Amino acid sequence: MKNLLALSLKTVQGELYVLDQTLLPHQQHWVHCTTVMQMVTLIQRLQLRGAPAIGIGASLLLAYRATQGDSREQLLQAAEILRAARPTAVNLMNNLDAMIRALQQADFADAAVACAEALFAEDVALCQRMAEHGAALVQPKERLLTHCNTGGLATAGVGTALGVISLAQQQGKTIQLWVDETRPLLQGGRLTAWECQQLGIPFQLICDNMAGMLMARGEVDRLFVGADRIAANGDFANKVGTYSLAVLAHYHNIPFYVVAPHTTIDLSCPDGSAIPIEQRAADEVRGVRGAFGQTLWAPEQAPVFNPAFDVTPACLVSGWVLDTGVYSQADIQTGILQQFASKSQQAMV
């Protein structure tokens, strides 16, 4: 396997390493990942997170196992175990489907490696094209707002929404970024803020419930968020709290964009009601856990509702920034998402 390097994933002399995102921003620790169950744990504990990165990480692990002599049957079983690791992120399902097709070939080990490497390279290219399309929307000196983490930590490339924002800054547009802390796991505060420091993006960290006040004061010009799954009608699932931002942006007449590769489109979901929403552990809401340990601020047995994602309806979206271009609600109503997803599926057969 080639030596590959992304912000959260790398392969070195055929070995796979994952940057433990739960220890950021204060510790950078690479985990040597060698087994299927280890990868499942890394994904479920959010040590590896971000829809594209999850799919690529799972694919690289299958490729690594193929180089270690696992049989076709063992690899196919492993793919199904990995598929169940995070149910909402459709990139994981799409990438594993591509790997399964590779495993049907006679030289399945070499085919698995080639497929995983191709998926990695594809994501790098998709991220760059999304960044270029989205950055063209940003005007000089705009104040942008984003939610969760959508940068290089979540992909193999420059990211989705944060990739757009980073390129706009590189183009000299002198933007200012509001970064939602993103409760309950603080991916904005821990990860996006860290990436912004690395990239030189001027930012200010805010609590999630401050966004509406900023919009009312006229201090937000445009929003960019990512997606874990886009339904055929343009509805999309993203980190919980995204829907609230979309409603606020709609009320205040502020452009709201979702940025994602075409590989995030799921034609099997006709609309957002068909997107499975992952429920996570109660302790994530009762308190906080990080490199410092764990702190509980709620009663230990307090009942908790903890969906990882919410669904934003297409009617609240100003535009879909894909690697193929920027599309309006009128475009979406013509069925353009189905065209892109169908072409993608045909190319992967």
| Residue 98 annotated as lining a ligand binding site | no
Amino acid (one-letter) located at 299: P
Q: How far is CA 289 from CA 30, 40, 281, 284, in A?
A: 19, 19, 12, 8
Annotated catalytic residue, options 70, 180, 228, 266: 228
Burial of residue 315 (number of CB atoms within 10 Å: 0-12, 13-18, 19+): exposed
The gap from C-alpha 272 to its chain's centroid, in whole angstroms, comes to 17
Euclidean distance between CA atoms 328 and 317, whole angstroms: 8
Pairing of strands 176-180, 203-206: parallel
- From the CB of residue 343, how many other CB atoms can be counted at a distance below 10 Å? 12
| Residue 239 annotated as lining a ligand binding site | yes
| Residue 286 annotated as lining a ligand binding site | no
Using DSSP's 3-state secondary structure scheme, residue 104 falls into coil
Bridge partners, 75 (sequence order): none
| Residue 69 annotated as lining a ligand binding site | no
Phi-psi region of 149 (alpha: psi -120 to 50; beta: other; left: phi over 0): beta
Euclidean distance between CA atoms 189 and 146, whole angstroms: 11
Strand order in the sheet with 309-312: 265-266, 229-231, 236-239, 309-312
| Residue 211 annotated as lining a ligand binding site | no
For the question of residue 180 being annotated catalytic, the response is: no
Evaluated on CA atoms 94, 95, 100, 102, the torsion sign reads: positive
Q: Residues marked as binding for substrate?
A: 49-51, 86, 187, 238-239
Q: Residues marked as binding?
A: 49-51, 86, 187, 238-239
* Catalytically annotated residues: 228
